[in-house]
Amino acid sequence: MRSIRRGARGAAVAEIRGILVVLDLLDSATPPEFDEATERAVRAFQQSRGLSVDGQVGDETWRALDAARWRLGQRALYRTVADPLIGDDVRQLQERLLEMGFNAGRADGIYGGHTAHAVAQFQREVGLRPDGECGPETVNALRRLGRKVVGGQPQLLREAEAFRASGPTLLGKRIVIDPAHGGPDDPGIVVPDKRLRWVEADLVFDIAARLEGRLAAAGMRVHLTRGPAPARTLSDRDRVHLANELGADLLLSLHTDGHHNPAADGVATYHYGAVGGSTSSVGERLAGLVQREMVMRTRMRDCHTHAKTWELLRLSHMPAVRVDIGYLTSPVDRERLITPNFRELVVEAMMAAVQRMYFPVESDVPTGSIDVRQLRTLTTASSASPGALA
């Protein structure tokens, strides 16, 4: 859909304003005009949900608004395979089940198989018919009972333990690398520089292709979400669907950033996490490793790691991070990014971070210490002795 922004009028704006009123971000749903107050409310909503804050309602913001209108108990919840129910009520249900020790998977607000199975387990335990559907009786039972699990978040522990159990070596691990943008209508950030024209989609594809070759040489199974000139533009949903279908162990999405102020520069890394809610502990660790290796090896400004609910991160079945490798609008970062040797440093930083992900925390190594030129040898050695690189 085309973004709805300030100045727009009509039924869609009226619905947006109505949801913002329900969320106590706007005083009145009338008039049906996207005015300054509506833009401020949309920005506040985006900020609270970990979305990109631009004050406009595009596809992702609209889906988040539509999900936010629901509270647990306002509608019956059940699993549909083709078009699963999505909403804040589903997320509240998942968080409640996780608190009680039932494995509902990640609290992502999507009523999928894990959630339906957890609901059925809960229903069986409290004497209800275990149909996996959350109606009034199930909601009342959930509200009556207190939490069983204390002193930790069980889903985060499950996620971390499953990753640890996969072993320290890269051999046979599957990774999807997502060079952002691409396609005839989505070049990303474009900056003319003298007689040249620097395009985000081209630069991140070059980095992705280099990373693909190096990780494949280290024994990983590597897939790119697109080629150098895809025939169509891929949405974030398309990209994460491919990673899920491939059963990837990791997803790395590569971007550059842009800003109207040319002084803005630096690298930032993002992982899944809801404001005041659940997060992906393994994704958060991957983001931290990527960020530290990038800053150490490239000497770029550290813009830190951040939790976001972007669909690329929220809908993934595996730890996923997005890396914004500098600002293409910054003369300093741009001079680095257009240099092949610098892009090699970026690749080395990401390779080191990926390898460190598979080391047990107690056998991790200092940032910047892995010689990625010997990564195949190192991963083979680590499979024999996890402490070999410590």
Tell me the per-residue pLDDT of 253-267, one tens digit each, with 9 for 90 and over: 999 999 999 999 999
Q: Would 11-68 and 70-149 be classified into the same CATH topology? A: yes
pLDDT score of 218 more than 80: yes
Which of the pair, 242 or 167, is modelled with greater confidence? 242
pLDDT at 381: 54
Whole-angstrom distance, CA of residue 94 vs CA of residue 169: 33
pLDDT at 75: 94
pLDDT score of 280 more than 50: yes
**What's the distance, CA 197 to chain centroid?**
30
pLDDT at 152: 47
pLDDT at 153: 58
Give the DSSP letter string of 171-183: TT-EEEEEE---S
Whole-angstrom distance, CA of residue 276 vs CA of residue 295: 28
pLDDT score of 129 more than 70: yes
Whole-angstrom distance, CA of residue 272 vs CA of residue 147: 25
Alpha-carbon Rg of the chain, whole angstroms? 22
pLDDT at 154: 60
Instruction: For 266-278, give one letter per residue: b (16+ CB within 10 A) or e.
Output: bbbbbbbbbeebb
Q: Determine the residue type at 266.
A: G
pLDDT score of 380 more than 70: no
Q: Where are the chain's structural domains?
A: 11-68, 70-149, 169-384
Q: How confident is the model at residue 377 (pLDDT cuts 50, 70, 90)?
A: low
**Poorest-confidence range of 59-73, 188-202, 285-299?**
188-202
Give the DSSP letter string of 51-86: ----S-B-HHHHHHHHHHT--TTSS-B---SSS--B
Residue 23 tokens read as 């969320």
Residue 176 tokens read as 């999807």
Q: How confident is the model at residue 384 (pLDDT cuts 50, 70, 90)?
A: very low
Residue corresponding to tokens 């709805």: 4
CA angle 73, 157, 97 (to 5 degrees): 15
Whole-angstrom distance, CA of residue 61 vs CA of residue 40: 14
pLDDT tens, residue by residue, 25-34: 999 888 889 9
pLDDT score of 335 more than 70: yes
Mean pLDDT, range 340-352, rounded to an integer: 97
Mean pLDDT, range 362-377, rounded to an integer: 81
State the virtual CA torsion across 237, 239, 244, 246 in degrees, nearest 10. 150
DSSP state of 253: E
**What's the distance, CA 327 to chain centroid?**
20
Whole-angstrom distance, CA of residue 12 vs CA of residue 125: 44
Q: How many residues are there in the chain?
A: 390
Domain 169-384 carries which CATH code? Answer: 3.40.630.40
Mean pLDDT, range 211-234, rounded to an integer: 94
pLDDT at 169: 85
pLDDT tens, residue by residue, 305-319: 999 999 999 999 899
pLDDT score of 348 more than 90: yes
Q: How confident is the model at residue 203 (pLDDT cuts 50, 70, 90)?
A: very high
Q: Determine the residue type at 97.
A: L
Mean pLDDT, range 122-151, rounded to an integer: 85
Q: In DSSP terms, which residues pair with 37 in a beta bridge? A: none
Q: In DSSP terms, which residues pair with 223 in a beta bridge? A: 176
Domain 70-149 carries which CATH code? Answer: 1.10.101.10
Q: To the nearest whole percent, how much of the chain has pLDDT over 70?
A: 91
Contact 119, 134 (CB under 8 A): yes
pLDDT tens, residue by residue, 33-57: 999 999 999 999 999 999 999 999 9
pLDDT tens, residue by residue, 90-119: 999 998 898 888 888 888 889 999 999 999
pLDDT at 65: 95
Mean pLDDT over each residue of the chain, to the nearest integer? 89
Helix axes 200-217, 375-384, angle to 10 degrees: 50
Which of the pair, 381 or 337, is modelled with greater confidence? 337
Contacts of 133 (CB under 8 A, 6+ apart): 76, 77, 78, 79, 116, 119
pLDDT at 372: 85
CATH 1.10.101 is the classification of domain 11-68:
yes
pLDDT at 2: 82
Whole-angstrom distance, CA of residue 90 vs CA of residue 134: 9
**Poorest-confidence range of 63-72, 339-348, 380-389?**
380-389
Alpha helices in the chain (DSSP H): 11-22, 36-49, 59-68, 88-99, 113-126, 136-144, 154-165, 200-217, 236-246, 281-298, 311-314, 331-337, 340-357, 375-384
Residue 204 tokens read as 């991140």
pLDDT tens, residue by residue, 140-196: 999 887 655 444 456 666 666 777 777 888 999 999 999 999 988 899 999 987 778
Q: Determine the residue type at 132.
A: G
Mean pLDDT, range 346-368, rounded to an integer: 90
pLDDT at 287: 97
pLDDT score of 21 more than 80: yes
